[in-house]
Structure 1
Amino acid sequence: MFQNTFPDKATIAELTAKMLWEIGAVHFRSDEPYTFTSGLKSPVYIDCRKLISYPRIRSAVSDFGVATVLRDAGFEKYDCVAGGETAGIPYAAFIAERMGLPMIYIRKKPKGFGRNARIEGDLKEGQRVLFVEDLTTDGGSKISFANAIRDAGAEVTDTFSVFYYGIFKDAPRTLASHGMKLHYLTTWKDVLAVAKKEKLFNAKTLKAVEAFLDKPLSWSKRNGGVDKLPSRENG
């Protein structure tokens, strides 16, 4: 019954990519590239935060997220859903509501006063946590969040993102080495496929985007950015 209720992975990937295009969440700027927190320069940027302002789209994305996680990881695997500060918080709330689970969120750093906590909400020792963010690039930022969950005595084996860049091939392996499996809805490959099909990028733009996606670190270096991502071994 479940398999007949939700679209397959390819359909989910295409529909999510179309939603990103529809609301203007796909941005291109080759003459003045975007700079990621890692120092990477990129001509393209996905703004998943925009999705939360469109009720029908955010509802579809949340349903797709739950379907993907349950299908790939199991129905009775989690006791709690955690969001990463800040963009992961609304998605964690949407998914927790649909799964009928408690929700918490994880700060990037302790707040520096009061309890000096990184975890907000009621996380109990031994709980199994699904960690949620809006997107994944190289996967490194999730390690620190996962460490905070584990330091609190809980477990985290799976992480979900609406969007996965899909250009850093070591990301799933990096997460796996820290005990997490990555689940996601769509990638740059899917977004680009929609752009080609519906002629949303001109030939010049398409060429620049493909050059970056093919060799992101080389493209970054040529445009004044880093050519090596920082190590995240210790979060």
Structure 2
Amino acid sequence: MISFPVATREEIAAITARALLEIGAVHLSPSEPFTYTSGLKSPVYVDCRKIIGFPRVRSRLIDLSLTMMADIAGLEAFDAVAGGETAGIPFAAWIADRLAVPMQYVRKKPKGFGRLAQIEGELTAGQRVLLVEDLATDGGSKVRFVEALREAGATVSHCFVVFHHDVFPGSRDRLAEHGIEIHALARWADVLAAARATESLPTGELDEVDEFLRAPLAWSAARGGIEALPER
């Protein structure tokens, strides 16, 4: 029998934020900004891949993910779980295992040999699939993964991530336009609040993060990064 811990959304966000800080998954570098795949410059980078190296943390976060998705969608809402290449794959595997449902993974584009497959694993038409990723920025990759799953016959309306930046203009609207609801254990507001409460990161650097979060594209443009998100 699958058991789900009892926790409110606020408790889930606080626990996740503290866990990310505890394992050193939150990196700050205002003086030498990180460059995201999109070309955006940022003083912060969250490395959710670190979670795979901390079994107790990942077990707790998977518990919380099941609690959240059961509350949002129900206990019998999904027939399968799909992980986005590559960081979403381990999280999808753990969630699928706990739900006792099949798992697939979705490539960013079809592989260039063999069956030219973009989706690996058994997928049948009409399957209700939960897309799982480690984090979300502007939502563009989530749309591409969902489109691939739908083209293969799956029904996809929910995407789960451990962490969602949730500061980029139009990211939620872009997903909603494609019929996708995004759900995250924690957002930047949660991590920032936890960092200040625990004094686990330098206050001056957190102030710089605050500035970035209020206007991420302007902050990026002022430091040589993109000043607008690419059209999807």
TM-score (norm 1): 0.95
- 2:224 is paired with a residue whose SS is coil
Q: Distance in 1 between matches of 2:6 and 2:137?
A: 26
Shift of 1:170: 2.1
1:211 and 2:211 matched: yes
- Partner of 2:96, secondary structure, is helix
Q: For 1:144-223, what aligned pairs fall within 5 Å after superposition? A: 144-223=144-223
Aligned-pair distance for 1:4? 8.8
Match of 2:7 in 1: 7
Alignment of 1:64-83 (within 5 A): 64-83=64-83
- Report percent identity of matched pairs: 52
What SS is found at the alignment partner of 2:92? helix
Q: Specify the code of the residue in structure 2 equivalent to 1:166.
A: D
Q: Does 1:137 align with 2:165?
A: no
Letter in structure 2 aligned against 1:56: R
Give how far 1:201 is off.
2.6
Question: Is contact 2:4–2:67 with CA below 8 Å preserved after alignment?
Answer: no
Gaps of 5+ in 2: none
Q: What count of residue pairs does the alignment treat as equivalent?
A: 231
Amino acid at match of 1:69: M
Q: RMSD between aligned alpha carbons?
A: 1.5
CA separation of 1:174/1:51 partners in 2, compared to 1, >3 Å: closer, same or farther? same
Partner of 1:85: 85
**1:215-234 pair list within 5 angstroms:** 215-232=215-232
For residues 170 and 72 of structure 1, the distance between their equivalents in structure 2, rounded to whole angstroms, comes to 22
CA distance in 2, matches of 1:4, 1:133: 21
- Partner Cα distance (2:75, 2:187) in 1: 25
Gap regions ≥5 residues in structure 1: none
The aligned residue for residue 126 of structure 2 is: 126
Kept in 1, the 8 Å contact 2:196–2:203? The answer is no
> Counterparts of 2:100 and 2:4 in 1: how far apart (Å)?
22
Deviations 1:197-232 (A, max 9, x none): 111233321211100011000000001000100111
Q: 1:3, 1:85 → 2: CA distance? A: 28
Q: Structure 2-normalised TM-score?
A: 0.96
Contact 2:4 2:63 in 1 (8 A): no
